Structure 1
């Protein structure tokens, strides 16, 4: 009986040799074909980061030797609303440095008397009056948190820093920082300027990219209504059920903050 059992076991083992050999040969041929011949399918690899970020396509102008040797200047926008005049002044004095530039914006919900009082108070401050580097916006806009009016207010301030008051030419500055009356600095301006003086002046802390990913559905397609665009009283933004298609006449870009200061 033992020789018969041994013969049956050997026959069963030999029965699997042929499929195993055929499978191994096919796998080897497939591996050789994949590594030798080019793929007939187009590549779907993700483009490199240099193709996604717009900064890589720009040729920054090198700063002049005089500008590179001098300490940097920082332009601050400090925004507030009704009842924020004293907080706005507190933040300004905590952030103040004669080299920097400042724009203070109390939105249209605050009474005009608050803007006049704030401007008069700052004009009587000896250091601020001597440097003449603080401007209080007298023609304020209504700003809605998270709405387009908030973005527009920031862009208006950046334009004012660039072009100056009434288009008379803006002063030189290196970085723009947007704050609110509820913010407060964690470092002194001397320390901040010292740190920034070690950085290249063309360094941007916002990465702009056309690879918007999930933001296409959650940011680009929803329709958001900002009451600050057509009302005199502040109200929160709201979304409508309808969605829009992604525009084809231009490309959407998004950004991500990679640095926080103050």
Structure 2
């Protein structure tokens, strides 16, 4: 009986000892949670209210991991943009539409023109094609010169038509980098994506034709002959012709001619070379007439 009583007293004393630890443990837990909550409170400028926490944060910011920034996966240059003039004459309506579709890219700008020698029905068909094409309507980057010009090959009317299209592109076409003059019979040898990607790595102020006032032999062969363009005064197309009289070199202004830059062409692959050379030949004729 005495053993049972002593065992009961020992068990009761042990339970009382465990109860004494519960209260301090609960108080300590509450205080710890309260202090942890206070460390998360910051001021309006994002600084912590407690200097100890601030010093710990500044100490942790000295690790190199905090100074590492992710490197962008791609650092490609912005894509280039071209402005095209695609022109044709009588019977070139279908070829012009084919060339336009082959050259089309949403980032480019386009002006199409069928000269006055083409029929009104052919020009109307091209106009409806441009207006009703869903892709052209979405990006609004294809325009047609509705008032047809009479264009004579190698004549001043050809230069005037090109300048007319360039003026439209400068006024309405937004930002573009290079102007390309093509005819309806031209066709690209590479896709526009490849061409735009290649030209994206070239400086935007790069011109493939430099001008010079040292015209040399061209003074006698190009500046003094008088060329008559029937497209300036006739309603029917006819070839330009030269008259026997020669004029003196003008003194009110200077004549300039072009020097083709061959270095950028050599750096391009063969398909680009053929394509760019055709561009330079066209622009070469324009500069000489100017």
TM-score computed with the length of structure 1 as normaliser: 0.70
Distance 2:127 2:105 in 1: 18
What is the CA distance between 1:128 and its match in structure 2?
1.7
Aligned residue in 2 for 1:245: 248
- Runs (5+) with no aligned partner, structure 1: 1-67, 165-169
Q: How does 1:219-258 map to 2 (within 5 A)?
A: 219-258=222-261
Distance 1:163 1:128 in 2: 18
What is the CA distance between 1:72 and its match in structure 2?
1.4
Matched, 1:156 2:164: yes
1:106 to 114, 125, 137: 114
Distance 2:259 2:189 in 1: 22
What is the CA distance between 1:206 and its match in structure 2?
1.2
Paired residues in the alignment total: 190
Matched, 1:80 2:83: no
Distance 2:260 2:239 in 1: 24
Contact kept? 1:115, 1:136, Cα under 8 Å:
no
What is the CA distance between 1:69 and its match in structure 2?
4.4
In our comparison, the structure showing a higher alpha carbon Rg is 2
Matched, 1:183 2:191: no
Distance 1:119 1:132 in 2: 14
Q: CA RMSD in A?
A: 1.5
What is the CA distance between 1:193 and its match in structure 2?
0.1
Distance change (3 Å), C-alpha of 1:183 and 1:257:
farther
1:138 to 146, 158, 163: 146
Deviation string, structure 1 residues 202-247 (Cα, Å, up to 9, x no partner): 0011111111111101100000000000000000000000000001
Q: How does 1:183-222 map to 2 (within 5 A)?
A: 183-222=186-225
Contact kept? 1:77, 1:177, Cα under 8 Å:
yes
Q: How does 1:49-128 map to 2 (within 5 A)?
A: 69-128=77-136
Contact kept? 1:208, 1:255, Cα under 8 Å:
yes
Distance change (3 Å), C-alpha of 1:236 and 1:119:
same
